[in-house]
Amino acid sequence: MRTIQALVTLFLVSMLVFWLARLSGDPLDVMMPMEASAEDYARARKHLGLDKPLPVQYARYISQAVTGDLGTSIRAKIPVSQMILERLPNSLRLAAFSITIALLLALLLGMAAAVKKGSIVDTVSRFIAVAGMSIPIFWLAIMAILLFSVHLKLLPSSRAGGFKHYILPAVVLGWSFSAPMMRMLRSSMLEVLDSEYVKLARIKGVKERWIIWWHAFRNALIPVITFAGFYLGLLVGGVVVTETVFAWPGIGLLAYEAVLWKDYPLIQGVVLFITSAVLTINLCVDVLYAYIDPRIRY
């Protein structure tokens, strides 16, 4: 049933992005030279299939997409799938760094805030979480570049390269996405620590560290894993704002370039890829629930 829901969602997204892409304007205005005549426009429109009715264009597009053919980029003149595969490794590497930072911050600070409720650790953790959720990610990225690249000259400001190139975009993404996970883990931990079976375990004399790690932490993970799965899908697909600010050659920057170029096939291909990544990872997270909480069965 979940697989069917995912396929229906993917179909609806493909239809929506197909129609919305047409609202961005005529791609020939970007492609054609200034001196192009009306006849040149007509020939180009016929060659690209843009002279056909929109329902016919969509039917042709979806019939090719189910076979893995996402079309050819209007501007680059190469297959969309090839462009996505070329950028995908950069997004995957950035995703690995970012999700590691996000999970470390969320798990360590979220657990510490719950166990030490009301302490200075709890206050600092909540401040970090609120700041991460409140500060716009584009502003945070620009300030990080100004401080660490322009003034201190410690880290590169853009492009992919060695390990140093990953630090700024990964930390910016990791902190921004760790904030809601941190708050969710703290709330879930507090709820579990106040439950009856935890109180019974304490009465029986179970050591506090076993209560925290075995009973509370495991049962508090469900909402955190849900968000982490959704976040990982976005990262694999590329986070548009961060990759654009850091000029990171990933899927997110490719999506921005596609909109800038009014490249219909590329816009559609990138959105379908990101949607597929999010849906696939969410399905895997649903299966993972049963291993974390034995009470959940499918």
DSSP track, 32-79 = S-TT--HHHHHHHHHHHTTTS-HHHHHHHHHHHHTTT---B-TTT-SB
pLDDT score recorded for residue 198: 75
pLDDT at 297 over 60: no
Task: Write down the pLDDT at residue 295.
Answer: 60
Q: pLDDT tens digits for 104-132?
A: 888 888 888 888 888 898 888 889 888 88
What pLDDT score does 95 carry? Answer: 87
Provide the residue count of the chain: 298
CA 127 to chain centre: 24
Angle between helices 80-115 and 251-261 (to 10 degrees): 130
Q: Which domains does the chain have, with CATH numbers?
A: 2-65 (no CATH), 84-292 (1.10.3720.10)
- Secondary structure (3-state) at 259: helix
Q: Evaluate if residue 190 carries a pLDDT over 60.
A: yes
Give this prediction's pTM. Answer: 0.80
Other CB atoms closer than 10 Å to residue 250's CB: what's the count?
Answer: 28
Q: Is the pLDDT of residue 87 over 60?
A: yes
Residue (of 220, 242, 239, 236) closest to 277 by Cα position: 236
pLDDT of residue 292 exceeding 70, the answer is no
Q: How far from each other are the two terminal CA atoms of the chain, in whole angstroms?
A: 11
Angle between helices 264-292 and 251-261 (to 10 degrees): 150
Q: Which two tokens stand for residue 60?
A: 């042709």
Model confidence band, residue 290 (pLDDT cutoffs 50, 70, 90)? low
pLDDT at 147: 92
Contact 171, 96 (CB under 8 A): no
pLDDT tens digits for range 137-174: 889 999 999 999 999 989 988 888 888 899 999 999 88
Question: CB neighbours of 101 closer than 8 A, spacing ≥ 6?
Answer: 170, 171, 173, 174, 175, 178
- Is residue 57 scored above 70 in pLDDT? yes
For 244-287, the pLDDT digits (tens) are: 899 899 898 998 888 888 788 888 899 888 888 888 887 887 77
In terms of pLDDT, which residue wins out, 127 or 36? Answer: 127
Q: Tell me, what's the pLDDT at 24?
A: 67
pLDDT digits (tens, 9 = 90+) for 206-258: 777 777 777 777 777 777 777 777 777 777 766 888 888 998 998 989 988 88
Task: Compute the distance between CA of residue 152 and CA of residue 148 in angstroms, rounded to an integer.
Answer: 5
